[in-house]
Structure 1
């Protein structure tokens, strides 16, 4: 412990000169660092000062395989800058021995044979590729399991990259969650022929759903059923919430629904219709809903408008005000029109705004209409 503290203090000492990356010198490295790793990082143009600052402990490890990592990536088509970026973001890669790295390449190419695509994935998710050998058996079993579900290879690759924990654990745990999702889908009226597409979409949009509790999913669906949602509506919510329903709980949903009903003064039936239009409403805690609701009212938006277009709650008050100002500058008063034009991503809004701006700049002319005359 004392050695670790002394090393950390040494690395942070202000008297240690910071040299340009292109200058190679042994004087900048602590005696406890693995000099072979340091030299290899310099040769690969890795920002070693950044590595020292964020993950300096890696440079003290023996053995390390920096040149082997670079060779593997280079053999897969990675450029020098890509290799340097991978080692800056995830220098722990040098702690994987060549046998482990080769085993990982074999696993990943079984689902992503395109080397260029695989290099892109490794650059974005290096920690998912460079993992311990103790996970290899679980990874193989999980790949085989998802293959047996006839899932698209791209979906499996995305799961491995963005939610590697789900592939590092025993396959039985993933089977429990997938079985629960499939059973819920069928029980809620989903068609068997469409289940694979539905499951692929859900896992693609929220890979982390596999790491959630299947009991939580069942409890939340039961809560919503008791609130009066039909099986078809529950299937709609499960699909729209994209698996995030596992991150909710009955207590939080109960508070959110109660507050939403009170602030809009609507019936339970109307509240269910609002939730179906905007399932994300179930997520927001009371203080966020209150801030956005009050912001809309201050902007002159009526409660009836909000009930007609509840998806406006997905926007922060700052974004709403900005978009209202842009629309108002071109003669569109959202207080008397539809709020639909406010919705969507920045790109969606800019497209709607552009169309509106064009209509204002080029008003429609009806050649049949009589000209106005003045006496």
Structure 2
């Protein structure tokens, strides 16, 4: 028996939200491809075989607005290759009514700096732009709300692009989570003047935080408070973890903390200090931590070094080994030196590595200094 999945269609935008593979096969057997659509895509140099393989059902829909989508994107400055790439990745775009696409364009331009920026967003997140018209009012209301919070426009566009679900739902749901975040920030002693910047960083780092139940945030902070973290320390953790604090749960944190304490041999107070230095220890699963601890110890690094610089655990074993090999090539002994040189992004490491190289290449004497030579 064929498994049915509901199809969400609107009068102005016939965007199919879900369709089972069985139904798609059935459509192939019982109907023919829309030849106007196929020809229009062919004229635009779109990879039709890719569409047939992954989303072939789109080619059977009627009406379709392939040329209209292409004209809209072209009018915004998209090149032919970009248009072809967008339609190959998200062919459902051709099912959106031109009036709906124009409405989306106007709405997005209220927060985008220019059309070039919008084209870049559509190229990366086409599904966020080509959405059903039934979500338009919610999207507009959410934009207005976040603008009222005086959030940076780039933050708003990032939210819309990477977490479109949060903008498609009623604004009241986002208001509840934002109020919860603001309340927690203030209760932990956060300064009012810094709250907007703090909120922007949180939403930027994890746009999906808006989709989490407010109760999760409160539950996680209560667990950490019971573990002995002070109000100031909780604010520090919340600021460091930002939106990822909602990805945690007491059970996983309890397990991770127990493993970290057992592995490092730290006391409860020492473990708290370790967490404050490296909050990421709260959300890494035991299996990942075990692999990283073992990788560091196998490289000759001792546990006291790891405890002194726990942020090295944020790096994968592969990255750590690669960096250690490069440092060894310069004569740096990681077993006796500081682990700080391993830390940070690739750019941070290259900077530290460059400074280390300059130190090794510096002359042993100052050639500009006068020599103390007997007559």
TM over 0.5: yes
With over 3 angstroms needed to count, the CA separation of the structure-2 counterparts of 1:363 and 1:263, relative to structure 1, is: farther
CA contact (8 A) 2:40 2:67 kept: yes
How far off its partner does 1:359 sit?
2.1
Using the TM superposition, name which of 127-136 and 75-84 deviates more: 75-84
How far off its partner does 1:75 sit?
1.4
2:82 is aligned to 82
- Aligned counterparts of 1:263 and 1:169: Cα–Cα separation in 2: 44
1:23 is aligned to none
Q: Deviations over 1:52-91 (max 9, x none)?
A: 1111111111111001101111111211111111101111
Asked if 1:5 corresponds to 2:28, the answer is no
The unaligned stretches of length 5 or more in structure 2 are: 3-21
2:61 is aligned to 61
**Mapping of residues 25-64 of structure 1, within 5 Å:** 32-64=32-64
Q: Deviations over 1:269-303 (max 9, x none)?
A: 11111111111111111121112112211211111
Q: Deviations over 1:256-278 (max 9, x none)?
A: 11111111111111111111111
CA contact (8 A) 2:27 2:60 kept: no
2:312 is aligned to 312
How far off its partner does 1:123 sit?
1.1
Three-state SS of the structure 1 residue aligned to 2:242 is: coil
Using the TM superposition, name which of 104-113 and 252-261 deviates more: 104-113
2:251 is aligned to 251
CA contact (8 A) 2:69 2:93 kept: yes
- Aligned counterparts of 1:252 and 1:261: Cα–Cα separation in 2: 14
Three-state SS of the structure 2 residue aligned to 1:62 is: coil
- Aligned counterparts of 2:264 and 2:207: Cα–Cα separation in 1: 34
- Aligned counterparts of 2:160 and 2:318: Cα–Cα separation in 1: 36
With over 3 angstroms needed to count, the CA separation of the structure-2 counterparts of 1:362 and 1:113, relative to structure 1, is: closer
The unaligned stretches of length 5 or more in structure 1 are: 11-29
How far off its partner does 1:321 sit?
1.7
- Aligned counterparts of 1:113 and 1:316: Cα–Cα separation in 2: 37
Three-state SS of the structure 1 residue aligned to 2:355 is: helix
Task: Give the alignment's Cα RMSD to 1 decimal.
Answer: 1.9
Q: Deviations over 1:91-115 (max 9, x none)?
A: 1000100111111112111111511
2:71 is aligned to 71
Q: Deviations over 1:111-154 (max 9, x none)?
A: 11511111111111111000000101111111111111111111
- Aligned counterparts of 1:97 and 1:227: Cα–Cα separation in 2: 55
CA contact (8 A) 2:212 2:246 kept: yes
Three-state SS of the structure 2 residue aligned to 1:77 is: coil
2:287 is aligned to 287
- Aligned counterparts of 1:82 and 1:146: Cα–Cα separation in 2: 30
- Aligned counterparts of 1:82 and 1:34: Cα–Cα separation in 2: 23
- Aligned counterparts of 1:5 and 1:54: Cα–Cα separation in 2: 12
- Aligned counterparts of 1:43 and 1:129: Cα–Cα separation in 2: 23
1:197 is aligned to 197
Q: Deviations over 1:168-204 (max 9, x none)?
A: 0011110111011000000000011111111111111
**Mapping of residues 1-375 of structure 1, within 5 Å:** 4-5=24-25, 32-365=32-365
How far off its partner does 1:370 sit?
9.6
- Aligned counterparts of 1:322 and 1:119: Cα–Cα separation in 2: 37
Matched pairs, number:
351
How far off its partner does 1:361 sit?
2.9
How far off its partner does 1:6 sit?
5.4
TM-score normalised by the chain length of structure 2: 0.89
CA contact (8 A) 2:209 2:244 kept: yes
- Aligned counterparts of 1:223 and 1:33: Cα–Cα separation in 2: 57
Three-state SS of the structure 2 residue aligned to 1:241 is: helix
Higher relative CO (Cα under 8 Å, sequence separation at least 6) belongs to: 2
With over 3 angstroms needed to count, the CA separation of the structure-2 counterparts of 1:208 and 1:369, relative to structure 1, is: farther
1:14 is aligned to none
How far off its partner does 1:7 sit?
5.7
Three-state SS of the structure 2 residue aligned to 1:254 is: helix
- Aligned counterparts of 1:3 and 1:338: Cα–Cα separation in 2: 60
- Aligned counterparts of 2:188 and 2:331: Cα–Cα separation in 1: 46
